[in-house]
Amino acid sequence: MPNSLELTLISCSSTESNNALPPHPHSPGITNSQYEEAQRRRSAYAEAYADMLQDVAKCNLHRTQRSMSFVQTKLTKNGCVSALQRPEDGTPCWLRKPLNSQNNLCNGRLNSTTPGTLNNHVLAPKVQNNSSPNGQKKGTISLSHLPQRPPVDIEFRDISYSVPDGHLRGFKTILKSVSGKFRNGQITAIMGPSGAGKSTLMNILAGYKTSQLSGSVLINSKERNLRRFRKLSCYIMQDDVLIANLTVREAMMVAANLKLGKNMISYAKCVVVEEILETIGLKESVNTLTCNLSGGQRKRLSIALELVNNPPVMFFDEPTSGLDSSTCFQLISLLKSLARGGRTIVCTIHQPSARLFEKFDHLYLLAQGQCVYEGRVHGLVPYLASLGYECPSYHNPADYVLEVASGEYGEAVPKLVEAVKSGTCKKYMHKDYGVNLANAKGIIANDIIKGNGSGTDNSSANTAPSTTAAATIKLEDEKPPKALEAIADDADADADELTELKPPKLEAQQSQNSDCSVINMPTTNDDSCSFSSSKGGQSQNAVSGGTNPVVGCMTSLLDSHESVVTLPNKTGFPTSGWTQFWILLKRSFRTIMRDKMLTHMRLASHVIVGAIIGMIYYDVGNEASKIMSNAGCIFFVSLFTTFTAMMPTILTFPTEMSVFVREHLNYWYSLKAFYFAKTIADIPFQIVFSSVFVLVVYYLTSQPMELERISMFVLICVLNSLVAQSLGLLIGAGMNIETGVFLGPVTTIPTILFSGFFVNFDTIPAYLQWVTYVSYVRYGFEGAMVSIYGMDRAKLHCNEIYCHHRVPKKFLEWMSMEDARFWVDAVALLGIFFALRIIAYFVLRWKLHMIR
Ligand SMILES: Nc1ncnc2c1ncn2[C@@H]1O[C@H](COP(=O)(O)OP(=O)(O)OP(=O)(O)O)[C@@H](O)[C@H]1O
């Protein structure tokens, strides 16, 4: 145990939120019951503290963290929370020890630590409530271990976007001076007919499109700094490609390791991951490979991966596409819960059902690149009615408005655009604007809206923005699979509840006398975290009979010290380049090892094809009468290593690219780290496969059993395969699979033709001979021939009456390879290898640039 640990007991009280010690039993004015209570607390405190110290000694705290000083410890009924201070710079780190050891998370280890800081992110403790009013066990799960991030409002003004219009040499304007505001705590739908510009607008707001753009985007009323903003936001694309051969937990841990940085100990990351998976309903699938997840689960995992660093802004492109209605509803309910946590959730959505539609708080409607409505979802029908477009009863307003915007009821767009410009829809933007009000005035003609608890949304939607309060996600019997159903079922109730809630004032307070960031723990019934989440304003403490004072500390996105405008401006990925490289390398190794198609089948095919070639050319290696067959065998070896290295890369890299683009644009890691990891992870496998193949052939065909020749032959074939793999990488980086599959063989065939096997170098016309110098197959084949027949090899055995090519040197002359030098061929292949890898890197960079 480190000697440097000092403990300052600042607070042990579970009933006081200040930092006082519990009353001493012999203090004047202390009653017996107070005395007993104090004793109880003291022993609980001592126990918790002893356990915690053990944790420090035992658990996987890093060396630096072991040498930190305890500066503050607080005992709550949830557990003991201690602030540690790094000796070097005094920055804070939290350690949490729950009193309740049932709180086992992460492979059965005690949830004993709470992470430290990440860019001043402080993790709030997780709090749970296990009882419901009727005494049923009901878990309350909130995303409270996530790093704190600041809430963000996005405002855009006069955004216009044009693209070059194909061959017409003109420009096509996709967005025409659109303005709007998406607030934190709300879930916003961007809707409109196909081609209206929804994805374009979202790409611009997410910072994915930055060129040919005019207008401004403001973040919390300040001009957007794109780099800072990208660190605060994530974009979850429609076709979310996940790495196939990782389990859900592994994928999450990679995300946590990359996004939470080294300031957080691995155990704390584990806690964060477990909490998110539990909350998002993937707890039962933690060990499932991502390729085996259902569509809805994949979507949830995509969200979970991005939630790890708690981005205050989340963009979703068509999150419901490809999902059944029930899963859509659960998903949107989940997004709504996330919005209630203070996040700004923006989704493009095509044609939601009425039930789904009314889950959104805010609607931004586009048609022909112009805004035709912005305001509350419940304001849409009265807004349309006020312009003479009465939504028929029993008609889905979402369908109706798309019909209107598509011109099915006449030329409506100019009228709607005019109405927006003249401020007609401003009144529907007001947070208090809702269907109850509208119904009362008899404005809404739509029965779907009237019927279904629509007043709830009205109320809830803007509770969060001001408070950054999160709707607690309730899980019946704490069964994760029920999570989303519970969310869905509770969503309306939550909304109701939130109307009656006083905003919790959860503040991350800066301790005045230390650098430790301290969160006001929910230690008492009247603590700021302990607010009602039940109907009628009853506190959960009250309804649970006071036995469990812990209430869902519902905020998952707290005001943090991190300011949107003061975030560091440097490229600043959460982890260093080396860490990124290392994590990605391990991930690549793991996925390659598990890939049945890429690894197992490839290895098997190398062995089997090697054996077949060995059988066909059996024992020809030292036979002069079969010297041409042997040359054919050597040529085929070069060819096989070329194609088996190139084609799998062409086929798989575009998929990896999709994952890379998503993760890179969401600020997980740099292109360099990805590219180096990818390059290095592939090489050992390629070397092993090619070597196995070559050795099998070499042995069966009775090539000279000299170590030098064997090594040279294997080396040149391996280099040849690495070059082919690099070419595959280049093609895969630049093209889609279809084009790559065509282009790969097409670019290789000329190099085969100029390899010197089919046409002697001397026979090739002078003006084409230069091509042989860029033919990597030539270097591979020539080097292999030299390693077999060069270096003054002795005469070959001849089984026939006459063998024309008994002298290997003469044979090389006959093949126009008399001047060939093995090391020249090897160095040439190495040079081409590096050149192709460098070019592929720049192609990737260019592709990334083009995406924006
Ligand atoms: N790079 C481009 N070059 C030419 N036209 C483009 C380009 N990008 C987008 N467009 C055009 O801009 C319009 C809006 O595209 P966008 O993808 O934003 O529409 P959308 O509303 O998301 O459509 P959908 O709902 O069908 O996905 C479309 O007509 C599209 O063809």
Please give the ipTM for the structure prediction: 0.96
Q: Is 174 in the pocket of ligand 1 (CB under 6 A)?
A: yes
Where on the phi/psi map is residue 146: left (φ > 0), alpha (ψ -120 to 50), or beta? beta
Q: Whose CA is nearest to atom 1 of ligand 1?
A: 163
User: Rounded to an integer, what distance in angstroms lies between the CA atom of residue 734 and that of residue 739?
Assistant: 9
Q: Of the candidates 150, 174, 170, which has an alpha carbon nearest to the alpha carbon of residue 162?
A: 174
Which atom of ligand 1 is closest in space to residue 348's alpha carbon?
22
Which of the listed residues 159, 162, 199, 349 should we mutate to test ligand 1's pocket, taking the one with most ligand atoms within 8 A of CB?
199
What pTM, to 2 d.p., does this model score?
0.67
* Ligand 1 lined by 615 (C-beta under 6 Å): no
Instruction: Name the least confident of 442-451, 671-680, 759-768, 809-818.
Output: 442-451
Is the CB of residue 729 less than 8 Å from the CB of residue 835?
A: no
Last residue within a domain, chosen from 91, 114, 137: 114
Domain's final residue, options 114, 137, 169: 114
Q: Which two tokens stand for residue 76?
A: 């709550």
Residue 444 domain-assigned (yes or no):
no
Determine, yes or no, domain membership for 844: yes
Mutate to test the pocket of ligand 1, among 162, 165, 200, 203 (most ligand atoms within 8 A of CB): 200
Nearest CA to ligand 1 atom 2: 163
Q: Which of the 8 DSSP states describes residue 651?
A: H
Which residue range is the domain that position 786 belongs to?
577-851
- Rounded-to-integer distance, Cα 400 and Cα 303, Å: 30
| Any ligand 1 atom below 6 A from CB of 197 | yes
Which two tokens mark 165?
Answer: 């219009």
Query: Is residue 271 included in any domain, yes or no?
Result: no
Cβ(199) – ligand 1 distance below 6 Å: yes
Least trusted range by pLDDT, from 9-18, 382-391, 808-817: 9-18
Contact 194 CB / ligand 1 (< 6 Å): yes
Say whether pLDDT at 16 is over 70.
no
Cβ atoms of 605 and 596 within 8 Å: the answer is no
- What are the tens digits of pLDDT across the range 34-69? 666 656 655 555 554 455 444 444 434 444 344 443
Question: CB of 852 closer than 6 A to ligand 1?
Answer: no
Residue 623 φ then ψ, to 5°: -105, 115
- 3-class secondary structure for 137-179? EEEEECCCCCECCCCCCEEEEEEEEEEECHHHCCEEEEEEEEE
pLDDT at 464 over 90: no
* 152 in any annotated domain: no
| 222 C-beta closer than 6 A to ligand 1 | no
Stronger pLDDT, 845 or 33, i.e. the higher one: 845
Residue 412, in any domain of the structure: no
**Is the alpha carbon torsion for 289, 295, 297, 303 positive or negative?**
positive
Cβ pair 159, 217 in contact under 8 A: yes
Maximum CA pair distance of the chain? 121
- CB–CB of 193/367 below 8 Å? yes
Residue ending a domain, among 82, 114, 146, is 114
Lowest pLDDT segment from 483-497, 516-530, 610-624, 828-842: 516-530
Q: If we measure between CA atoms, which residue out of 49, 48, 44, 52 comes closest to residue 22?
A: 44
For ligand 1, atom 16, the nearest C-alpha belongs to: 197
What pLDDT band is residue 210 in, cutting at 50, 70 and 90?
confident
DSSP per residue, 509-525: EEPTTSS-EEE----ST
Query: How many domains does one find in the chain?
Result: 2
238 CA to centre of ligand 1 in angstroms: 15
The answer to whether the CB of 195 is under 6 A from ligand 1 is yes
Confirm whether 419 is domain-assigned. no
**Is it the case that residue 823 has pLDDT exceeding 90?**
yes
Does 250 reside within a domain? no
SS3 annotation, 175-212: EEEEEEEECCCCEEEEECCCCCCHHHHHHHHHCCCCCC
278 located within any domain: no
| 174 Cα: distance to centroid of ligand 1 (angstroms) | 7
For ligand 1, atom 18, the nearest C-alpha belongs to: 197
Q: Which residues are CB-contacts of 395 (< 8 A; sequence separation ≥ 6)?
A: 446, 448
